[in-house]
Chain A
Amino acid sequence: MKKKRVFSSKVLLIPFLVIPLLFLGFCVSSAQEEGETEVLEETLAQAPSPPTEVEASDTPNDNGHSITVTWKLSADDGAGRNNVVSYEVLRSDSPDGEFEVRGLAPAGENTFEDKGAKEKEDANYLPPHKDFYYKVRARGDGLFSDSEVSLPAHASGQWYHTGKTPVVVAVIAFSTFALIFITLARKGKKLYVRPLAGIEAVDEAIGRATEMGKPILYILGLGSADMIATIASFTILSRVAKKVADYQTQILIPCCDPIVMAVAQETVRAAYLESGRPDQYKEENIYYLTSMQFAYVAGVNGIMLREKPATNFYLGKFYAESLLLAETGSLAGSIQISGTDEIAQIPFFVAATDYTLIGEELYAASAYLGKEPILLGTLKGQDWSKAVVMIALILGALAATFNFQFFLNLFAVQL
């Protein structure tokens, strides 16, 4: 009983000791916090120094709906009180008018492109040839300071994109090479071009189909008529169709694009006409199948297995369907000639077809088949351009190694 009373009196003492201690601790910590807050407030209570030297000018190489604003960073950006969070760019159509915020730039940034819309109905429309005034606001934590208003600037479109000059030079150089060799070819100079196995096999493949009495299947790929690979395929088709007409064989062309179908029909019709056999031309052999990739594969594979064509041509733009088509053709026992400019499909064609035209060989095929000097001239021009590019690559590698920035900048293209 006595023991219990002693314990209770000790327990009663605890609040008398703990509460004053807690109070003391609270007073000390609040005094510390107050001190820290005062120091912080001293720093933040002042707005950051304003940006200076604000300049607005027309954005170069654009369509005339953009103004670029530059400024000198606030003295408190990365230095001084170091309290700049961001910059706000404001615009007005008069120096004393109301300024509206056009965008934000993070601290450390001193450029902003005020890009407007070109449609008048758009709320963000920035009219060309109209003067605008800008000022830049340095924002701290709730406080800010504005720069002086800039001199007026207006947006205007340019007639030439200076950043694309290397492309212009390259196009002119390449065209010059091509034209020189076309002229030489026209004058009768004999031009040698390396033989391509895939092209040389075309005659053999058509002959085989004639002997077997089976049709030729020509696939123009999944590309639309405006793709360069499809256009190259049309030119090859023209020459293949002429030979097919000469040999009096059938050619089947299932298309996955109605425009491609229309062009293919016209190409083959003209080839038959030129061969003097317009009566043998069958429009129903060149037809539209579907625009859906795998439905097209199913359709073409069905044709391969039913018709058992002696020769399959796959020339144009191909994607994932390339191997599905080429393997089925291989299983059907056809001679297969393929060509595409899609790098990912080249290995599939190499593995599954007998001859493959790799990349540019597809574009060159019509010149090979036609053997016309003018067309061969462009091939020679291409070769010489490649030689120039190779020299430029070697010089570029050396310049990069030894840090000759001037030489490297000559090739920089701004889009």
Chain B
Amino acid sequence: MRRTLPIAVVAGVGFFMLIQYFIPLEEFETLYEWALDWTMVIGCFAMALGLYSLTNMMVTKVRRKAEGWGYSLVALVGLFVMVFVGLVPHYQDSLKYGTLFMDIFEYIYIPIQAAMFSLLAFYIASAAYRAFRARTVLATILLVSAIIIMLRLIPLGPLSAINQWMVNFILTVPNMAAKRAFWLGVGLGATATALKIMLGIERGYMGRD
């Protein structure tokens, strides 16, 4: 029963979601929206679970003075400060501009996030250096294509027209062909995975084969 019931639930819900796509009736639409609401409700309850997990892990690290416990302490303080300023002083208006909650979010969190994102530029440079080393024929083709694509942003005088033609060719012919093949494979793969799950062939996601 412990094995059969979850599979039956997954199969039932899976087949319902499949057939409702083809039935435009209002009742089916309502059921679909209801199912989506349920995922949101479960998500909200799961957030409490996540909060418990995070707090538990951080507190354990701080208590044991594990390596980098100071970061855990900062994370814990940050977590509880945000909960406090979000709920206690003006819990109804905390998402309005000018409140302490929004000030911390805008002037501390967003700049930190932007700094993290800006690292991407440097990481792209280092990854590109590795990827574009012309060690094999394929890597050389990649390198040449990348140079052509990058040059489109630079004025090259009379060569610009030729470069633009090559850029258009690369993007609309080999690149687009590869992208379409990728999407086709992903579409079929996703359908196959859904079918395997609905038929109970694939049960790894439930923690058992």
Contact = CB atoms under 8 A, between A and B. Distances in A.
Which residue, of A159, A287, A292, A320, has the highest number of chain B Cβ atoms within 10 A?
Answer: A287
B12 interface: no
Nearest to A285: B57
B123 A378 contact: no
A161 B127 contact: no
Nearest to B187: A360
Contacts of A269: 207
Q: Which secondary structure dominates chain A's binding surface?
A: helix
Interface stretch (A49-57, A146-154, A199-207, A233-241): A233-241
**Which 10 residue pairs are nearest across A and B when measured between Cβ atoms?**
A270-B207, A258-B50, A360-B189, A235-B204, A288-B50, A238-B204, A351-B131, A363-B189, A258-B46, A360-B185
B207 A266 contact: yes
A232 B48 CA distance: 25
B113 A295 contact: yes
B179 interface: yes
Contact of B22 (A167, A238, A291, A378): A167
Contacts of B196: 375, 378
Contacts of B202: 235, 366, 375
Contacts, number: 201
Given A164-B21, A228-B190, A259-B42, A175 B207 contact: no
Contacts of B73: none
B206 A348 contact: no
Question: How many of chain A's residues touch chain B, expressed as a range?
Answer: 35 or more
A258 B54 CA distance: 10
Given A236-B204, A379-B192, A259 B117 contact: no
Given A288-B53, A343-B182, A351 B127 contact: yes
Nearest to B27: A157
Interface string A214-228: 000000000010101
A359 B182 contact: yes
Contact of B123 (A261, A270, A274, A323): A323
A63 interface: yes
B207 A159 contact: no
Interface in B160-209: 179, 182-186, 188-197, 201-202, 204-209
Q: Which secondary structure dominates chain B's binding surface?
A: helix
A297 B112 CA distance: 12
A48 interface: no
A182 B201 contact: yes
Contact of B23 (A160, A267, A389): A160
A392 to B, nearest CB: 11
B67 A378 contact: no
B127 A386 contact: no
Contacts of A231: 193, 197, 205
Nearest to B78: A295
B57 A374 contact: no
Contacts of B117: 294, 320
A306 interface: yes
Given A178-B192, A294-B116, A351-B131, A289 B205 contact: no
B179 A343 contact: yes
B68 interface: yes
B190 A261 contact: no
Nearest to A294: B116
Nearest to A381: B192
Interface in A127-146: 128
27 contacts: A63-B25, A157-B25, A160-B23, A161-B22, A161-B23, A164-B21, A228-B194, A238-B204, A238-B205, A257-B50, A258-B46, A274-B209, A284-B56, A287-B56, A294-B112, A294-B117, A295-B113, A298-B116, A306-B68, A320-B120, A324-B119, A343-B183, A348-B124, A363-B190, A375-B201, A378-B192, A378-B201
Contacts of B205: 231, 234-235, 238, 263, 267
A371 to B, nearest CB: 12
A167 B22 CA distance: 9
B159 interface: no
Contacts of B24: 61-63, 157-158, 161
Contact of B120 (A64, A323, A364, A370): A323
Interface in A324-346: 324, 326-327, 341, 343, 346
B164 to A, nearest CB: 22
Contacts of B123: 323-324, 327, 352
A385 interface: yes
A220 to B, nearest CB: 11
A78 interface: no
A267 B128 contact: no
Contacts of A302: 68, 71
A324 B54 contact: no
Given A175-B195, A288-B53, A327-B126, A234 B204 contact: yes
A364 B204 contact: no
Given A261-B53, A378-B196, 18 more contacts: A158-B25, A174-B191, A226-B39, A228-B194, A255-B50, A257-B46, A258-B46, A266-B207, A267-B206, A288-B49, A288-B54, A298-B116, A323-B123, A324-B119, A343-B183, A359-B182, A366-B202, A389-B184
Contacts of B207: 238, 263, 266-271
Given A284-B60, A323-B123, A64 B183 contact: no
